[in-house]
């Protein structure tokens, strides 16, 4: 007997469904008739079949390649596009307000899933506390991997800054601001402490290290060696003062974030070492980062090293565009330093990333999205991918790889069964009503999103206005 095709709505679990409401594991699910873009780099398959059993993909391809089991629950996806659930490799989820976790975390998690994002990498908050919060938020959320922030000793102490008019200004330790948010940076005093830092990161539940500031190339190398010895990836800001991007890549770091940070390649070691306070950093970027300096030999040498070593670049273009747009809207007769910085960083970051693409650097799509503040000011993965197409000139399929297959590789071994639709991979799927390969903005046309075999409607997912 041939089982009838079920309307999709019969299978969907609401995003607001209570904890534990799951589609029964057996029988298998057969998603029929969609155009399948599986994220492996292969061309799209029309009129495809994807079989899912117990939250895992068991077959994906043509009707001939994937015979539908007699007992399968059939889902009609004719006229739709099926792709892997999206991965944002750079978010910050945990924010403490008045000593408590900001309640917008839960709304934000639901909203991310509703937008088709089934996995995120938190690039530094507080891994153990974040784990507790995510676990208690229920199943209508992306899978969350957390990185451990690491910085050098000066990040944890007060700083002196000589102002332009010759005065000395004292700054509170930068780590204090982070701790007020409830974040938990670890301090590396000397390179020999690297194994201890890695053990602390593991104990907190982190899956990798995110290097932040005040680390030299020997310290970066020691952290990379200690982390890689236990299978942990190491990422970091593009330059960690004084270590440059070229030094980070040479030390074996797995990825660098923020394309605008390659401005550090234009400076010598002494300048990189002395530019710790934020106003110095803003000034040097505002003065040095231009569309022209993005092609300077030192920047190109760093990009070539990234390409040669397979080091990822996560450019974070949308967050830079949001900042530049705000700065441009101010229209002051004499732009402020933060505005000059935002405009310079935006232009420079795009130009650097275009060079990176031309030189074969691997990209991953991370946004610097925050689960905090006005929703309109939060960087979004769909917008990052729009910029990959519009500003970098990538084909939509190429842009999508940076938020699927390559994003999973960027996260590391813990994400080895994510990012593509293939036998043995987790059934993290996104069904769209319009073709994202023709127009990347069609990523917003979400029909349903599935995490590990559980499909959910995006209805009710838009957070209420703040």
* Residue whose CB is less far from Zn ion, 34 or 147: 147
* Residue whose CB is less far from Zn ion, 123 or 403: 123
Half-sphere exposure (CA, 13 Å, Cβ side) for 202?
A: 14
* Residue whose CB is less far from Zn ion, 258 or 426: 258
Least gap, CB of 324 to Zn ion (angstroms): 17
* Residue whose CB is less far from Zn ion, 321 or 368: 368
CB atoms within 10 A of CB 219: 25
Given its phi and psi angles, is residue 217 left (phi above 0), alpha (psi -120 to 50 degrees) or beta? alpha
Least gap, CB of 211 to Zn ion (angstroms): 12
* Residue whose CB is less far from Zn ion, 84 or 233: 233
Least gap, CB of 280 to Zn ion (angstroms): 20
Query: How many residues belong to the site for Zn ion (CB under 5 A)?
Result: 2
79 CB burial (10 A radius; 0-12, 13-18, 19+): exposed
Least gap, CB of 139 to Zn ion (angstroms): 26
Residue with the shortest CB distance to Zn ion: 368
Least gap, CB of 255 to Zn ion (angstroms): 13
What's the CA gap between 71 and 402, in Å, rounded? 36
Distances (CA, A) of 122 to 130, 156, 217, 362, 435: 9, 22, 24, 20, 29
* Residue whose CB is less far from Zn ion, 210 or 426: 210
Judged by CB under 5 A, the stretch of 52-60, 117-125, 290-298, 444-452 that binds Zn ion is: 117-125
- Nearest one of 436, 437, 461, 438 to 448, comparing CA atoms: 461
* Residue whose CB is less far from Zn ion, 96 or 295: 96
Does 88 sit near Zn ion (CB under 5 A)? Answer: no
219: its two tokens: 């310290």
* Residue whose CB is less far from Zn ion, 38 or 108: 108
What's the CA gap between 248 and 272, in Å, rounded? 13
* Residue whose CB is less far from Zn ion, 368 or 428: 368
Residues 6+ apart with CB under 8 A from 92: 122, 123, 124, 125, 368, 369, 370, 371, 372
350: its two tokens: 């795009």
What's the CA gap between 141 and 420, in Å, rounded? 19
> Under a CB-based contact definition with an 8 Å cutoff, are residues 257 and 364 in contact?
no
Least gap, CB of 91 to Zn ion (angstroms): 8
DSSP 385-445: HHHHHHTT---HHHHHHTTTHHHHHHH-GGGTT-SS-STTSB--EEEESS-TTT-GGGGG-
Least gap, CB of 261 to Zn ion (angstroms): 11
Least gap, CB of 312 to Zn ion (angstroms): 15
What 3-state class would DSSP assign to 291? coil
Judged by CB under 5 A, the stretch of 115-123, 305-313, 330-338, 344-352 that binds Zn ion is: 115-123
Least gap, CB of 406 to Zn ion (angstroms): 19
Q: Which of residues 36-65 bind Zn ion (CB under 5 A)?
A: none
* Residue whose CB is less far from Zn ion, 123 or 415: 123
Least gap, CB of 178 to Zn ion (angstroms): 11
CB atoms within 10 A of CB 417: 14
Taking CB under 5 A as the rule, which mask of x and - marks residues 338-377 in contact with Zn ion? ------------------------------x---------
Taking CB under 5 A as the rule, which mask of x and - marks residues 299-318 in contact with Zn ion? --------------------
What's the CA gap between 91 and 121, in Å, rounded? 6
Taking CB under 5 A as the rule, which mask of x and - marks residues 120-139 in contact with Zn ion? ---x----------------
242 prior amide bond cis, ω within 30: yes
Q: Which of residues 276-295 bind Zn ion (CB under 5 A)?
A: none
CB atoms within 10 A of CB 228: 15
Least gap, CB of 14 to Zn ion (angstroms): 31
Residues 6+ apart with CB under 8 A from 323: 342, 345, 346
> Under a CB-based contact definition with an 8 Å cutoff, are residues 387 and 379 in contact?
no
* Residue whose CB is less far from Zn ion, 117 or 430: 117
What's the CA gap between 117 and 59, in Å, rounded? 22
Question: In the complex, which residues of this chain contact Zn ion (CB under 5 A)?
Answer: 123, 368
């Amino acid at each position: 007997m041939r089982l009838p095709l079920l309307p999709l709505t019969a299978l969907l679990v609401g995003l607001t469904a209570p904890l534990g409401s799951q589609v029964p594991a057996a029988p298998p699910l057969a998603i029929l008739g969609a155009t399948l873009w599986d994220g492996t780099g292969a061309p799209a398959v029309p009129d495809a079949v994807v079989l899912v059993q117990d939250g895992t993909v068991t077959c994906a391809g043509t009707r001939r390649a994937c015979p539908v089991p007699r007992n399968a629950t059939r889902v009609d996806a004719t006229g739709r596009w099926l792709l892997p659930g999206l991965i944002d490799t750079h978010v910050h989820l945990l924010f403490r307000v008045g000593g408590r976790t900001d309640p917008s975390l839960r709304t934000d998690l639901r909203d991310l899933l509703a937008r088709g994002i089934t996995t995120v990498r938190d690039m530094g908050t507080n891994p153990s506390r974040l784990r507790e919060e995510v676990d208690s938020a229920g199943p209508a959320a992306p899978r969350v991997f957390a990185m451990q922030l690491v910085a050098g000793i000066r990040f944890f102490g007060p700083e002196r800054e000589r102002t332009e008019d010759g005065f000395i200004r004292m700054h509170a330790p930068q780590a204090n601001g982070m701790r007020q948010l409830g974040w938990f940076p670890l301090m590396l005093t000397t390179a020999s402490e690297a194994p201890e830092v890695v053990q602390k990161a593991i104990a907190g539940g982190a899956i990798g290290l995110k290097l932040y500031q005040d680390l030299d190339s020997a310290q970066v190398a020691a952290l990379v060696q200690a982390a890689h010895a236990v299978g942990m990836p190491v990422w970091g800001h593009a330059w960690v003062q004084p270590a440059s991007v070229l030094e980070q890549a040479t030390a074996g770091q797995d990825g660098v974030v923020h394309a605008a940070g390659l401005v550090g390649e234009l400076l010598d070691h002494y300048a990189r070492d002395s530019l710790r306070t934020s106003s110095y950093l803003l000034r040097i970027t505002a003065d040095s980062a231009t569309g022209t300096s993005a092609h300077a030999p030192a920047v190109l040498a760093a990009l070539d090293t990234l390409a040669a070593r397979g080091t990822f670049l996560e450019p974070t273009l949308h967050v830079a565009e949001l900042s530049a747009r705000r700065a441009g809207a101010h229209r002051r007769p004499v732009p402020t330093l933060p505005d000059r910085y935002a405009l310079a960083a935006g232009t420079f970051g795009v130009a650097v990333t275009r060079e990176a693409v031309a030189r074969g650097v691997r990209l991953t799509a991370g946004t610097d999205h925050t689960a905090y503040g006005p929703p309109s000011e939060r960087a979004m993965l769909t917008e990052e991918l729009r910029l990959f197409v519009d500003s970098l000139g990538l084909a939509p399929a190429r842009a999508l790889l940076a938020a699927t297959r390559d994003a999973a590789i960027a996260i590391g071994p813990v994400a080895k069964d994510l990012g593509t639709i293939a036998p043995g991979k987790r059934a993290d799927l996104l069904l769209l009503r319009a073709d994202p390969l023709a127009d990347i903005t069609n990523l917003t046309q979400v029909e349903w999103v599935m995490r590990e075999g559980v499909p959910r409607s995006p209805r009710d997912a838009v957070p209420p206005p703040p």
